[in-house]
């Protein structure tokens, strides 16, 4: 009996030893397999990294702003705004700038900062800033890595005329929805904003009306181009990999220009209407908002979705009637920013990634105030809005709860907006131009269908989205104001092809609007 028990124990110990041996062998095989896999992956990964580091890159310089004295930067700071591939800053931390002075050349390293600090971003190309402090007595600045030559930077200085509030609108293209843009201009102007529009293309009569407004400035915003000497494939068009007409670059460009002169800068789309509720005008509104959030560098005002009615006939059109027709849909969307420019160095449309240390981004509660997103348009044969309705504006009801706390605008403001608009379009040659505005939209329905497909439906959230993916036909005979531009290429900077915008202007044509 004792011997049998000892035999069982011995057999049991042999089984355990065998089991442990098998486990150790399997573990060893698994470890060898993993190490082999990691070695292969690491070699492949190193090849990928090596290929990327070894290859050349393209950058497109859009502007260089020089600040002799600044609220935001040290004296004699220059800021380069450029586009490149979204991982460019992982490969290069600085750009080498040579400052030519009367005493000789001085090299300055400009630190690179991504405007959209989000990896991965759904567009392969994004905007960057490169910031550096240069000698006070510089004669010119150039991007260079050699002693012989370089790409001379076209310097500009920021605007100096004081502005309480500046509205920097996202770039306009194929723009013909005059009912929207005229209302936007009148409303923002009435509440005290100086408006800066970036335009790629617009029907000429509408362009002339906007240009004549004393509270607006229009800048051409071209598609970017890289020359035949390039790092990218000859077939590659960087505009297809820039988000919505390169809008983050446009908004940052606008911020850089008003950094020293504006107290507040707001960044809406043209179909985002903000009516002040914390004060009588935008300046009082934003002053109160930043008092509510004293640590804010940027404040987000969310959008509430609305539908509106308007007329296709200029003689029957009224910007305040359009606003009075608002119906809230009970849906909130991505917010838009207002910033204190000395606290923020760059911006995207929904967020700033470059808020100065000690400040942050805050969100305004929707029930306090929000942008009215004029999303759904209706053009009845006989508009139902009249003067009586204008004098009885709808209530602010973003959650669609039949709220009756306050109206969307004050009647006195509405009547002033209407009167100023009528006076404006009745003056001199403006009357004839206004009467010629089209009754039929050609581009808007095409863009709406395209944007519903590529953006609002969110079916392709992982891909870059913009008008370059829309099929837009030519319309011979349609007078449009488009943008002409010129870029030059410098190919002697080490590992980088530099393409710089050196001139851009508007030109009028009769073959429709272009992208």
Residue boundaries of the structural domains of the chain: 58-156, 163-509
Specify the higher pLDDT residue, 458 or 207. 207
Helices (H) and strands (E) in the chain, counts: 11, 20
Per-residue model confidence as pLDDT tens digits over 476-493: 999 999 999 999 999 999
Q: Determine the 3-state secondary structure of 172 from DSSP.
A: strand
Q: Which of 50-54, 324-328, 351-355 has the lowest mean pLDDT?
A: 50-54
Phi/psi region, residue 330 (left: phi>0; alpha: psi -120 to 50; beta: rest), is left
User: What is the rounded CA–CA span in Å between residue 250 and residue 166?
Assistant: 14
DSSP label of 463: S
Are 273 and 187 within 8 A, CB to CB? yes
Radius of gyration from C-alpha coordinates of the chain: 29
**What is the pLDDT, as a whole number, of residue 6?**
45
Phi and psi at residue 67, to the nearest 5°? -110, 105
Confidence of residue 346 (pLDDT cuts 50, 70, 90): very high
Residue in the block written with tokens 């100096």: 160
**pLDDT above 90 (res 509):** yes
**pLDDT above 60 (res 7):** no
Per-residue model confidence as pLDDT tens digits over 359-369: 999 999 999 99
Element (H, E) at 198: strand 194-199
Q: Tokens for 208?
A: 């002339």
Per-residue model confidence as pLDDT tens digits over 251-264: 999 999 999 999 99
CATH of domain 58-156: 2.60.40
Work out the angle at residue 139's Cα, subtended by the Cα atoms of residues 138 and 140, and round it to the nearest 5 degrees: 95
Q: Which of 11-20, 97-106, 339-348 has the lowest mean pLDDT?
A: 11-20
Are 297 and 356 within 8 A, CB to CB? yes
DSSP label of 71: S
Q: 142 forms bridges with which residues in the sheet?
A: 98, 152
User: What is the rounded CA–CA span in Å between residue 225 and residue 239?
Assistant: 8
Element (H, E) at 218: strand 216-220
Residue in the block written with tokens 């098998």: 22
Element (H, E) at 44: helix 2-54
Element (H, E) at 309: strand 296-309
Q: Tokens for 8?
A: 């069982």
E-assigned strand segments in 287-435: 296-309, 327-339, 360-364, 371-378
User: What is the rounded CA–CA span in Å between residue 297 and residue 337?
Assistant: 10
Q: Residue 441 burial (CB < 10 Å; 0-12/13-18/19+)?
A: middle
**What is the pLDDT, as a whole number, of residue 128?**
98
Per-residue model confidence as pLDDT tens digits over 32-82: 777 766 555 454 444 444 455 558 999 999 999 999 999 999 999 999 999
The pTM of this model reads: 0.88
Query: How many CA atoms does the CB half-sphere of 322 hold within 13 Å?
Result: 30
Confidence of residue 206 (pLDDT cuts 50, 70, 90): very high
Q: Residue 491 burial (CB < 10 Å; 0-12/13-18/19+)?
A: middle
User: What is the rounded CA–CA span in Å between residue 96 and residue 109?
Assistant: 5
Q: Tokens for 159?
A: 């605007």
Are 498 and 489 within 8 A, CB to CB? yes
Element (H, E) at 90: helix 88-91
User: What is the rounded CA–CA span in Å between residue 511 and residue 515?
Assistant: 13
Region 407-436: mean pLDDT is: 95
Q: Average pLDDT, whole number, for the chain?
A: 90
Residue in the block written with tokens 């859009």: 62
**What is the pLDDT, as a whole number, of residue 458?**
59
User: What is the rounded CA–CA span in Å between residue 168 and residue 193?
Assistant: 10
**pLDDT above 50 (res 9):** no
Q: Tokens for 215?
A: 């509270």
Region 4-27: mean pLDDT is: 64
Among residues 236, 299, 301, 311, the alpha carbon closest in space to that of 84 is found at 236
Are 127 and 366 within 8 A, CB to CB? no
Would the CA dihedral through 328, 329, 331, 332 be positive or negative? Answer: negative
User: What is the rounded CA–CA span in Å between residue 108 and residue 441?
Assistant: 52
User: What is the rounded CA–CA span in Å between residue 281 and residue 278?
Assistant: 8
């Amino acid at each position: 009996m004792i011997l049998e028990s000892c035999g069982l124990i011995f057999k049991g110990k042999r089984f355990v030893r065998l089991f442990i041996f098998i486990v150790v062998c399997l573990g060893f095989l698994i470890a060898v397999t993993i190490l082999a896999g990691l070695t292969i992956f690491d070699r492949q990964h190193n090849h990928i990294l090596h290929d990327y580091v070894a290859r050349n890159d393209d950058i497109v310089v859009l502007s260089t702003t020089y600040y002799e004295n600044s609220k935001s930067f040290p004296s004699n700071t220059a800021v380069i705004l450029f586009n490149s591939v979204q991982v460019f800053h992982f490969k290069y931390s600085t750009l080498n700038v040579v400052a030519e002075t009367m005493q000789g050349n001085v090299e300055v390293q400009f630190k690179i900062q991504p405007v959209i600090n989000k990896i991965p971003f759904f567009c392969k190309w994004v905007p960057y800033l490169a910031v550096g402090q240069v000698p006070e007595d510089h004669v010119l600045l150039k991007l260079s890595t050699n002693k012989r030559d370089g790409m001379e930077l076209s310097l500009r200085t920021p605007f100096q005329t004081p502005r309480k509030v500046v509205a920097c609108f996202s770039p306009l293209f194929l723009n013909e929805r005059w009912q929207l843009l005229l209302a936007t201009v009148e409303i923002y102007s009435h509440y005290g904003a100086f408006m800066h529009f970036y335009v790629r293309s617009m029907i000429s009569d509408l362009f002339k009306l906007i240009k004549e407004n004393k509270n607006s400035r229009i800048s051409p915003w071209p598609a970017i181009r890289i020359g035949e000497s390039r790092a990218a494939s000859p077939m590659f068009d960087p505009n297809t990999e820039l988000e919505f007409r390169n809008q983050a670059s446009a908004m940052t460009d606008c911020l850089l220009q008003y950094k020293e002169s504006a107290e507040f800068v707001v960044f809406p789309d043209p179909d985002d209407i903000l009516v002040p509720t914390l004060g009588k005008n935008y300046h009082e509104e934003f002053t109160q908002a930043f008092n509510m959030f004293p640590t804010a560098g940027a404040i987000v005002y969310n959008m509430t979705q609305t539908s509106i009615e308007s007329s296709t006939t200029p003689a029957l059109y009224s910007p305040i009637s359009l606003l009075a027709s608002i119906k809230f849909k009970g849906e909130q969307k991505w917010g838009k920013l207002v910033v204190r420019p000395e606290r923020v160095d760059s911006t995207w449309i929904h967020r700033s990634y470059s808020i100065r240390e000690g400040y942050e981004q805050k969100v305004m509660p929707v029930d306090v105030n929000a942008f009215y997103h004029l999303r759904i348009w209706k053009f009845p044969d006989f508009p139902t809005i009249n003067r009586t309705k204008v004098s009885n504006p709808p209530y602010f009801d973003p959650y669609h709860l039949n709220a009756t706390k306050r109206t969307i605008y004050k009647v006195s403001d509405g009547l002033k907006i209407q009167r100023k608009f009528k006076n404006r379009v009745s003056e001199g040659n403006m009357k004839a131009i206004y009467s010629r505005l089209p009754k039929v939209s050609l581009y808007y329905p095409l863009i709406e269908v395209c944007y519903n497909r590529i953006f609002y439906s969110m079916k392709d959230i992982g891909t870059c989205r913009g008008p370059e993916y829309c099929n837009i036909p030519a319309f011979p005979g349609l007078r449009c104001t488009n943008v002409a531009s010129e870029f030059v290429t410098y190919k002697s900077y080490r590992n980088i092809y530099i393409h710089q915008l050196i001139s851009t202007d508007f030109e009028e044509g009769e073959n429709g609007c272009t992208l």
